[in-house]
Chains A and B, each alone.
Chain A
Amino acid sequence: KQEVTQIPAALSVPEGENLVLNCSFTDSAIYNLQWFRQDPGKGLTSLLLIQSSQREQTSGRLNASLDKSSGRSTLYIAASQPGDSATYLCAVRARELSFGAGTTVTVRA
């Protein structure tokens, strides 16, 4: 069974600092990996989707890398802002979509 781990569980940084969120998965036979953002009491918003054949994807201040062979992905958020405060979830798609427990980010103004 696919297991997805996200480290750290929580992160607090001052505004302007770069964020680095880690995701690891046990089974490298995946189709793709997706990063989501979840605000308190809200649904999941897709941020980036990386296909298994890709190494990274970028969208604005967000960059996600994928090393399928080692079972790792990293989400980088440059120049963090208070509006980036949320829980970030990593999900890998093989037979089904398996989620990590998330990293809760707080960006202090």
Chain B
Amino acid sequence: DAGVIQSPRHEVTEMGQEVTLRCKPISGHNSLFWYRQTMMRGLELLIYFNNNVPIDDSGMPEDRFSAKMPNASFSTLKIQPSEPRDSAVYFCASSTSRVLSNYGYTFGSGTRLTVV
């Protein structure tokens, strides 16, 4: 298995532009999570999906952030408009089932976002 695949690896954009981050979870995993990592706040859960349905988006910082999971093999995290304080590494993770809880999380390599 190729693991959790995220794209792009790096993104540099100007303030005010729209940014879309992409994630392909491990095949067969039905839970998907978006995290943000910064030096100041560490790893923060933004949103998670179970069976393609958003379960908890309470970690999404503002209305500028939105996430979708149109099918079991693809998810996007969009920031519109982007701001310099959004600069961080965004990780996607997947797991087999959140309810069973007997499985760990597998993380992607992350997208390093820089907003100038």
Contact = CB atoms under 8 A, between A and B. Distances in A.
A44 interface: yes
A64 interface: no
Contact of B102 (A32, A45, A102): A32
Given A43-B91, A43-B110, A34 B105 contact: yes
Which applies to chain A's interface (DSSP): helix, strand, loop or mixed?
Answer: strand
Q: Sort chain B's interface into a size bin.
A: 10 to 19
A108 interface: no
Interface residues of A, number: 21
23 contacts: A31-B102, A32-B101, A32-B102, A34-B105, A36-B107, A41-B112, A42-B109, A43-B107, A43-B108, A43-B109, A43-B110, A44-B93, A45-B107, A46-B107, A49-B104, A51-B102, A93-B101, A96-B56, A97-B33, A97-B93, A97-B105, A99-B42, A99-B43
Interface of A: 31-32, 34, 36, 41-46, 49, 51, 89, 91, 93, 96-97, 99-102
